[in-house]
Amino acid sequence: MKRAVYPGSFDPMTYGHLDIIRRSAEMFDELIVAVLVNQQKNALFSVDERVKILQEATKDLPNVKVDFFSGLLINYAAEHGLHVAVRGLRAITDFEYELQLSQTNRMLSDGALDTIFLNTSLQYSYLSSSSVKEIASFGGDISQCVPDYVEARLREKFQSR
Ligand code: ADP
């Protein structure tokens, strides 16, 4: 059985992430979307909220599971018998960081964890969780960036501030 993990902050999930999830779910028998805990201390959404959003977004994809982890990805992968990580590449600016991360993971895991990259669908190449949060914080229209329920949660967050 071919399995992979798609790790990230997903704070919050955008259509760009969902595009990578859908496309990689077609390539693997099982895809685990794993939310990284504590990577960003100033995350807007709690891990529980981020997991729930991802579960809602992927409920029509039976081979996608949502989980969370803290610490090193290589340890999570080893515990779950996973040997492939999926990451998305938006632009050349993502490449250097992603290359370094994937080589580090490969080295630290003695070659047990490889990374594959999917390039973003062009219509999402400009999208990032941080820009979505910034636009939402100023009351801008983010309907093309995230599903309705994520937009609603973002509005709640910024109204209560
Ligand atoms: P991290 O903080 O770990 O980079 P993110 O949640 O921002 O986590 O992103 C997780 C992964 O999804 C990364 O590989 C990132 O490059 C990718 N990604 C983020 N936004 C998009 C997008 N709009 N299109 C394609 N891939 C994306």
Q: From the candidates 65, 90, 133, 157, give the one annotated as an active-site residue.
A: 90
Q: How many angstroms separate the CA atoms of 124 and 99, rounded?
A: 21
Domain ranges of the chain: 3-122
- Counting beta carbons within 10 angstroms of the beta carbon of residue 61, is it exposed (0 to 12), middle (13 to 18) or buried (19 or more)? middle
Report field, pTM of the whole predicted structure over 0.75: yes
Is beta strand 114-119 parallel, antiparallel or unpaired with respect to 84-89?
parallel
Share of the chain above pLDDT 70, in %: 98
Judge whether residue 100 has pLDDT over 80: yes
Active site residue 41: yes
CA of 88 to the centre of ligand 1 (A): 6
- Check if 127 has its Cβ closer than 6 Å to any atom of ligand 1: yes
Is 23 labeled as catalytic in the residue annotation? no
What is the CATH number that goes with domain 3-122? 3.40.50.620
Confidence at 40, pLDDT banded by 50, 70, 90: low
110, amino acid identity? D
